Amino acid sequence: MIKSDDLSLSSLLKVFVLLMVAGHTARCAANESGESAPFKAPSPDMVDVSQGPGIPFGGIGTGFSVFGKYGFVDVYFDGRHLDSGDWPIDRAPKEKPSFAFQLTEGGKSTVLQETAVDWLGNAQPVDQVKAYADLPKGHFTFEKAGANLGIVMTGFSPLAPHDLANSAIPVQVFEITVENKASAPRALDLALVHRDPLTVRSGKAVLTAPGGETAFAADGGVPSVHGVNAPLKLAPGQRQTVRFYVAWNYPSVTTTSSAARQPYKRYYTKRFHNAEQVIDLAMTSAKGWSAIIDVWHAAFDVPPAFKRLWFSALSSVSTSTILTDNPYFFEQEVPHGWINTMDVSVYHNWLYMINWPEIERMDMDQFYQSIPKSGKDAGLVWHSLWDDSSDYAEEPTFIGRVYRDSLWFNDAAWTAKGFPLATLAANHVYHADNYNYLLHNPVGNQSYDIWKMPGVNAYVSVMWVYGLYSLDRMSQTLRQPSVIDHVPAGEMFAKARTSLDKSLWNAEGHYWNAFFVPTDRSESADALARKDGQDTFSDQLFGKWLALIDPQSESVLPQEKVRAALSAIYTNNLVDDPAKGFRGWANGMRPGHQPEMQAGYHSRTCWFGPQEELASLLADVGEESKSLDVFNSLEASLHNNHLAVGEWNKSVGPDGLSRTLPEEPAKDTPRFPPYPRYKSGWEYLMCILGLKMDAQNFYLKPFKTIAFSLRDVELAGTRFTVTVQPGWTRFLIDGRPQAGPVQFPRGRSTVKLDFVK
């Protein structure tokens, strides 16, 4: 990837050649003045988010602000923390914007938003703002009756895959194009103005505030105590583009963890000492940043629904992360104050593994440091770093994640770092409570919150079985023992696998029951334990999904039972409500497709992670049409609220139809800032490729029912260029026909694969 802080002319040419090859010349063609052509119309990959508060702009862990129909709404540059209660999507936020774009002509001013600004009393708002998410870019059109002007804007913050340094810059870039549609020449003034007095320094207008500063500038602009102005002189039919910059420097930040209140320094302070330096870099790099973003989008020629969900998930990256100079990575589980939550990040970190894999290492390093190495809590894995525990679900999750990372990074030293901690975690959770080689808990606080599954449950038990398998695999690779309660991991795995079927397999329904309460465990006589546990639990095969990239993991559970269980989930847990435009899969349903109304109400919700997981697991057993149905239904269920995703996208009512959960309506979609788990949709890229790996080889088995291609996309250390024709029957590697299974050695920097008829 070209480093955008040092873009030479030859580098830019390479970028634009890539764009031309990818068919994106229209978006990046130069106009008469040499600027990027203005945004004109949305593509199918974009999401119309005009109904929401706007589009967030910000880097990884830098802070952000949102621009939309209300203008710039609440600005999180200064390290304050998110509270989704402040962000109802259906009305204007309480806090009014302190800066705005203003267009002036002949003493009359227009503010580029739908609402008036009290400190710009003479400026009239536009009639309508249309917003289209194409993250990390956002596109806007501004309509004003009688103005005879065409006004469009593209905004972005630099985000580039596999380039963390240039994805963590505290800056926003806004390119505003104004077109004169009148028959006479016109003189206008386009400005970015602030409510409070600013200081002019080195060609920038700077706001100094407690703890930091924000700077404003424009190419060819004139700074003042009010902001920055750019004069426009337009002949009839002429258009002109002005590029504005907003940069900030608020170096100190704290996390939302109640147990860690010390301040950290932002990652960007390693590179910038003030906001003016950020703008200096942006002025020379913005065109390159924009081009790299377009190359990133062009690299994925896939069905639009995939790109809409994948790239919209960057909204969660911008709004929920903190990156510090240690370097540490923190991610808030908005709306909760928890950070780096294990059972959430194990889903959604697929976005980081694919695009910024060093973040996965940072996240896991935090857990490696937090796990006690001795004493009664040795091996305890926090649910959220330092201040929350989920009783017994996090340890097997952690083990599976260590193994997934070992396959992805293929780094023996990294595997050796996590392996002893994984063994320690296995012993900790097994000694806490067990039953017939499976994990047991009388209350069942297994990360499904209100829905308790006491005794032995499928979510934890399947994870545990795959965790034991993972320990045994790593033990063999590293040639180091892994022993749980004096039993080698391989032996414990075999015993636990047998016990899983004996305890949980439902021979009549052909799935693993949600939970089982042993009759000989008196401590399980809690009222919660008297349910029969025969729900069809949509997340029962989470452990298999976590190990899905390992081709040998297919032998852990019998494929015929896996296929039967997935079929049961797909059929029994479906919530199909065409009248409301909803089709989704509930967490749990009673046998016979009956809603679970007696257990905790989270059993009735359609959580994003398990649905995305279901899509991938169905594809893995060859059910491509069902897999696409789940993924496409989930994406469509958002109804263009892709930047405002809650913890689930509906619940099921007693009538079997969809409804907003009465007990927690605020957690239903839409909600902003978004809940992070839906970022796990990026794993579906692995699914459509059928990409698996071990220490020696990559293995692929792409979908056969859809056409798609990738161009120079880095996955697990290799850059893939892949073209897939529907109904493919043969394949080529680097242009040479091959026979047999699709596999090739790891360690290659690039590979080109063509799947053709």
| Residue 328 belongs to a domain | no
| Residue 334 belongs to a domain | no
If asked whether residues 190 and 134 sit together in one domain, one would say yes
If asked whether residues 708 and 681 sit together in one domain, one would say no
pLDDT for 45 beyond 70: yes
pLDDT at 10: 35
- CATH for 491: 1.50.10.10
* Per-residue tokens: 564: 């039967």
Q: Residue 189 CA to chain centroid, in angstroms? A: 39
The pLDDT-based confidence of 35 (bands split at 50, 70, 90) is low
| Residue 335 belongs to a domain | no
If asked whether residues 670 and 746 sit together in one domain, one would say no
Tell me which of 689, 712, 731 is where a domain ends: 689
pLDDT at 23: 36
* Per-residue tokens: 205: 């207008």
What single DSSP character describes residue 314? H
Helix or strand holding residue 595 (H, E): strand 594-595
Report the alpha-carbon distance of residue 718 to residue 389 in Å, rounded: 37
| Residue 139 belongs to a domain | yes
Query: At 32, which amino acid appears?
Result: E
- Whether residue 680 contacts residue 712, with contact meaning beta carbons closer than 8 Å, is answered with no
Q: Residue 726 CA to chain centroid, in angstroms? A: 28
Mean pLDDT of all residues in 390-396: 87
Report the alpha-carbon distance of residue 77 to residue 610 in Å, rounded: 33
If asked whether residues 372 and 265 sit together in one domain, one would say no
Tell me which of 644, 671, 689 is where a domain ends: 689
The pLDDT-based confidence of 531 (bands split at 50, 70, 90) is low
| Residue 308 belongs to a domain | no
Residue 579 structural domain: 341-689
> Nearest to residue 332, comparing CAs of 346, 324, 344, 350?
344
If asked whether residues 92 and 237 sit together in one domain, one would say yes
Query: Rounded mean pLDDT of the chain?
Result: 91
The pLDDT-based confidence of 738 (bands split at 50, 70, 90) is very high
Report the alpha-carbon distance of residue 170 to residue 172 in Å, rounded: 7
pLDDT at 673: 84
If asked whether residues 629 and 746 sit together in one domain, one would say no
If asked whether residues 242 and 275 sit together in one domain, one would say yes
pLDDT for 22 beyond 50: no
Kindly give the residue spans of alpha helices, DSSP state H, lying in 173-274: none
Q: Which residue's entry shows tokens 């996309």?
A: 713
Query: At 325, which amino acid appears?
Result: D
pLDDT 10s digits, 318-374? 999 999 999 999 999 988 888 999 999 999 999 999 999 999 999 999 999 999 999
Kindly report the pTM of this predicted structure.
0.94
Half-sphere exposure of 271 (CA within 13 A, CB side): 19
Task: Give whole-number Cα distances, 580 to 624, 627, 634, 636, 644, in Å.
Answer: 26, 22, 14, 12, 19
Q: Which residue's entry shows tokens 């770092």?
A: 417
Report the alpha-carbon distance of residue 343 to residue 509 in Å, rounded: 28
If asked whether residues 113 and 214 sit together in one domain, one would say yes
pLDDT for 6 beyond 80: no
Q: Residue 517 CA to chain centroid, in angstroms? A: 36
pLDDT 10s digits, 153-164? 999 999 999 999
Report the alpha-carbon distance of residue 217 to residue 227 in Å, rounded: 8
- Partners of 360 in beta bridges: none
| Residue 330 belongs to a domain | no
| Residue 307 belongs to a domain | no
pLDDT 10s digits, 426-443? 999 999 999 999 999 988
pLDDT 10s digits, 604-632? 999 999 999 999 999 999 999 999 999 99
Task: Give whole-number Cα distances, 7 to 21, 290, 608, in Å.
Answer: 20, 12, 39
| Residue 218 belongs to a domain | yes
If asked whether residues 264 and 213 sit together in one domain, one would say yes
If asked whether residues 679 and 703 sit together in one domain, one would say no
DSSP string, 319-377: HHEEEBSS--EEEB-TTSS-BS-HHHHHHHTHHHHHH-HHHHHHHHHHHHHHS--SSTT
Please give the tally of structural domains in the chain: 3
> Nearest to residue 129, comparing CAs of 116, 110, 117, 114?
114
If asked whether residues 602 and 710 sit together in one domain, one would say no
* Interior angle at CA 735, CA 732 and CA 738, nearest 5: 35
Tell me which of 689, 715, 748 is where a domain ends: 689
pLDDT at 523: 54
- Whether residue 537 contacts residue 458, with contact meaning beta carbons closer than 8 Å, is answered with yes
Task: Give whole-number Cα distances, 674 to 88, 313, 320, 535, in Å.
Answer: 12, 9, 8, 29
pLDDT for 399 beyond 90: yes
- CATH for 218: 2.70.98
Q: Which of 47-56, 88-97, 260-269, 272-281 has the lowest mean pLDDT?
A: 88-97
If asked whether residues 685 and 701 sit together in one domain, one would say no
pLDDT 10s digits, 238-286? 999 999 999 999 999 999 888 878 899 999 999 999 999 999 999 999 9
